[in-house]
Amino acid sequence: MTQQESPRKLYLEIVKQLRTMIEKDGLKAGDKIPSERELSERLNAGRSSVREALRALELLGLIETRRGEGTFIRDFRGNQLVQLLSTFILQDEKAKKDVIETKYLIEIDCLQTVLDKSDKGQIGRLKQWAIEHTYEDGEFFSRIAEFADNHLIFRIWEILKDYYHSLDLHDYQPTKQQYIDLAEALEKGDFELVLASYRKLRNLSA
């Protein structure tokens, strides 16, 4: 009765315990986790169950296994998972639309947030960077999302970005000037202007 919580799928339980273990031991990206055999022993489970958990995490891009060496924690930025999902799931037209829409919403949220709490200096540097460098769309908005100083929404945005890219619909390529315009709008602190710039950049109707 102590564990009606999760006596169901052992491998899910192992995933959970792995997470706990990683947290407790303060393991970070690049660190090595115990071998399958040792985990099997420590967690009191069969090696195959441990492997099922590891495979799942691997497919999500959370860990990386190297034959002959071991299993390592990865810098979670799902890329192969996205590819898999895209070929598997995203046939659904509606889901595509949702991804696009949501990405735009989140990006606007980030712009709003940056406007609310970034200082002029930061935005000024962003503008300078926008002027002086060449970059891809992802790079630019990655900065925006970072400046929003909200790690969670940054993560969400990253996932959405990956989904978005996997859709392969780079139909509209913003010009460099449009990025600069957006940065300048941020600098002026006028949200309406920011919104207008963003819509132009994304080629959206009002």
Partner DNA sequence: AAAGAAAACGTGGTCTGACCACCTGGTAAA
Partner DNA sequence: TTTACCAGGTGGTCAGACCACGTTTTCTTT
Q: Which positions touch DNA (CB under 7 A)? A: 9-11, 35-38, 40, 44-49, 51-52, 54, 65-71
Site string for a copy of itself, 29-68 (x = CB under 8 A): -------------------x--xxx-xx-xxx-x------
Is the Cβ of residue 171 or residue 192 nearer to a copy of itself in the bound state? 192
92 binds a copy of itself (CB under 8 A): yes
**CA dist., res. 45 & res. 97, Å (int):** 43
Is the Cβ of residue 131 or residue 204 nearer to a copy of itself in the bound state? 204
101 binds a copy of itself (CB under 8 A): yes
Is the Cβ of residue 130 or residue 141 nearer to a copy of itself in the bound state? 141
Buried b (16+ CB within 10 A) or exposed e, 155-184: ebbbbbbbbbbbeeeeeeebeeebbebbbb
198 binds a copy of itself (CB under 8 A): no
Query: Is 105 exposed, middle or buried, given 0-12, 13-18 or 19+ CB atoms closer than 10 A?
Result: exposed
**CA dist., res. 48 & res. 175, Å (int):** 52
Query: Is 56 exposed, middle or buried, given 0-12, 13-18 or 19+ CB atoms closer than 10 A?
Result: middle
**CA dist., res. 69 & res. 72, Å (int):** 9
167 binds a copy of itself (CB under 8 A): no
Please choose, from the candidates 138, 139, 115, 134, the residue with its C-alpha nearest in 3D space to the C-alpha of residue 193. 115
The window from 37-45, 89-97, 130-138, 197-205 that contacts a copy of itself (CB under 8 A) reads 89-97
Interaction partner, residue 69 (DNA, a copy of itself, none; CB < 5-8 Å by kind): DNA
Interaction partner, residue 3 (a copy of itself, DNA, none; CB < 5-8 Å by kind): none
E-strand ranges in the chain read: 32-33, 63-66, 70-73
Is the Cβ of residue 11 or residue 140 nearer to a copy of itself in the bound state? 11
**Rounded CA Rg of the chain:** 21
Is the Cβ of residue 64 or residue 184 nearer to a copy of itself in the bound state? 64
Residues pairing with 71 in the sheet: 33, 65
Residues pairing with 72 in the sheet: 32, 64
Task: Provide the binding-site residues for a copy of itself, judged by CB under 8 A.
Answer: 11, 15, 19, 23, 48, 51-53, 55-56, 58-60, 62, 76-79, 81-82, 84-92, 94-95, 97-99, 101-102, 105-106, 108-109, 112-113, 150-153, 155-156, 159
